[in-house]
Each structure stands twice: as structure tokens, then as C-alpha cells.
Amino acid sequence: MTSAGGARNARRAAGQGLRPFSPFSIKTKLGTLVVVSVFITTGLLMVALRTKTEVRFITVFSVIASMLITQFVAHSLTAPLDNMTTVARAISQGDYTRRVHGAERRDELGDLAATINVMADDLEAVDRHRKELVANVSHELRTPIAALRAVLENVVDGVSAADPETMRTALKQTERLGNLVETLLDLSRVDNGVVPLKARRFEVWPYLSGILKEAGLAAGQRSLASGSGNHTRKDVHLHLDVFPPDLTAHADAERLHQVVANLIDNAVKHSPQHGRVTVRARRGDDAPGSLALEVVDEGPGIPESERHRVFERFNRGSARGGDGGTGLGLAIARWAVGLHGGHIGVAESSRGCRILVTLPGSPKAAA
């Protein structure tokens, strides 16, 4: 999980009653109010007996003192509730920027305020992601649709003939639309929960070699397809390094394909001219039968301060320059690795960016 998810879980834990008992709880305050009122009344009665003051005066003083104390305590309890009501009403109307004051209180109202603030944080994040998704998808759909429409209009108007080259152009834009739809389907799987794994044992070298050939980097085409379109980089060289050559892995081949393809896509997009991207596979150190995969590029790398955001949704890698993608590829890779019970992260590298993926010896369901 990302640090953002961890921070959200921490905030949620803070609002789930981690303080079962507090010396400043509402029950304690109300009990103290009763005790203080009794002491005041008893004290005034004792003063009345010693000074022979009329009981009615003592009664009036007792009532006034008790009312003042009660008013003070009641205000400390009702004021936060009024603030919570105002914030909850604003949230119900779509304003997720409002927060409840008093979350630092050491009583039940403080717990309630913290819980409401966590809920508001989550709703604000969901709303922000929804708006970003609409904006990103609209942007991504506009380009291939416009290009496809232009090609077909030219054919219909007789400006260009329906020759193989024109049809290949139309097919390329259709493939871009298909890739985007596949990305959105993967995102839907992420949101809907865990997908059952179809794990099997396979040889790593021919498996990774096939992915490289599908990407077109090992052959002559040098065209890499991604969820945001086709990124043509004829100058980027891809190198496969598997040791030992007969290395095997136990994983869901389709899900692992998503991981490797997205990592290669990201590495190629950020590689310099005539750069080199290395896909390396080794036996893992965590457990017998585990697998360690690395994808290393020679690009500008990722600053340590931004590494925790790399696998967040819609993160376009501002540190390495925006690439016009949806920012979902690495988030989907993290999800697929998580299904295996593995780990993915940015590892230390003397040059460029190095993404390390570790998979256990046997598949595990993500928590």
C-alpha cells in the first residue's frame, strides 16, 4: 500500500475509539458536576448552620451556583455538537472541505470529531479522484476519437482512399481506445475488490521474452502500447537478464503481464535518447521459490521525497515530466502485485529509476 493509504488508515484508526477510557470523558464530567453541586449545597448548609443564616438564602445561592456550573459544562458539550451539525450539513451538500474543530479533545466528542474528519478526508479524496478520472478519461478519449473521425471523414468525402495505410491509421486509433478501456476495466477491478488468481508455475525467460516481443522493443517495430496510447521509441533498447536461465516462478501469468508491461511502458517513456531499459529476474531472498523482478531505466530517476507517490492513482510523474498518460499504469501494477501477496517499490539506484517487484513462493490473497 502507499503511504497515502497508510496515512488514511492511521486517520481512520484515530477515529475508531482508540481511547476507551479518558479521565476527561463526558461521563466523568457529568459525575463531577453532580459531586460539585452536592459539595456546594452541603457547604452552604454548613455555613448556614454555623452563622444561623436563613435556609432560603442558602437554597437560592445553591441553585444559582449549580446553574452556573451546569451552564458552563453544558456549553462545553453543546458547542462542539453545533459545529458537528454545521459541518455534517455542509458535507451532505457536497462541501468536503469543512472540518470539525475539537478533534484533539480527550473525550467522546473528540473521538466523534476525529471520526467525522476522517470521513470528510475520505469523501474529499473520492470526489477528487472522480473529478480527475472524468478529466483524464475525457482527455484520453478526445485524441483517438478525433483522429479516427478525421480518417473516416476523409475516406467518406473522397479526400483519401480506403487503402491499407489509411486503415492502419484508423486501426491504430481504435487500438488506443481499446487500451484505454482495458485500463478502465482494470481500475474497476481494483475498486470492486480482490480478483481470484489463476497461478501456475512457468519458466521466466520465455515468459518475459514474450512480453518484450509483444511490446515490439525486442523486434524491429519499437512501438510500445500502453493505456494512454502508443509510445513509439525506436531509440530505446531493451535488455533481458534472467539468472539462472531455467528460473521458474509461480504466479498468475495474466496479472504479472500487467505488472511487467506497465513497468516497461513507464521506463521507456522516461528513457533518454538511445537509452537502455533492463528487465532483470532473480531468485528472491525472502523465501524459497520467491521471485525478484527489476525494471531499470537510465532516465532522470525519482527524487526520494516523491517515491511514496509513484504508485498513487493519477500520478503523472511530475518529477520526471508529464507524459500525457492517465497515471493509472503503476497503480494497477501495485494492485496486481498485491494480489500475489508481494511488494513493489522504488529501489535505490546509482542512475535512473529502479523498480523492484518481489513475489512470494506461493500466491497469497491480498489483505
Map grid coordinates 476527561 to a residue: 24
Q: Report how far residue 206's alpha carbon sits from residue 21's, in angstroms, rounded to the nearest whole number.
A: 60
How would residue 228 be classed by pLDDT, with cut points 50, 70 and 90?
A: very low
Residue 232 has φ and ψ, to the nearest 5°, of -90, 115
For residue 16, the SS3 value is coil
pLDDT at 357: 94
Instruction: Compute CA distances 328 → 112, 142, 189, 230, whole Å.
Output: 34, 18, 13, 15
Q: Grid coordinates standing for 282?
A: 532473480
pLDDT over 70, % of the chain: 74
Q: What is the pLDDT of residues 169-179, one digit of tens each?
A: 788 778 878 87
Q: Report how far residue 179's alpha carbon sits from residue 299's, in angstroms, rounded to the nearest whole number.
A: 25
pLDDT at 227: 38
**Reported pTM:** 0.53
Q: Which of 284, 315, 313, 306 is nearest to 353 (CA)?
A: 306
Residue 261 in this model has a pLDDT that exceeds 80: yes
How would residue 53 be classed by pLDDT, with cut points 50, 70 and 90?
A: low
pLDDT at 215: 62
Q: What is the DSSP letter of 296?
A: E
pLDDT over 90, % of the chain: 10
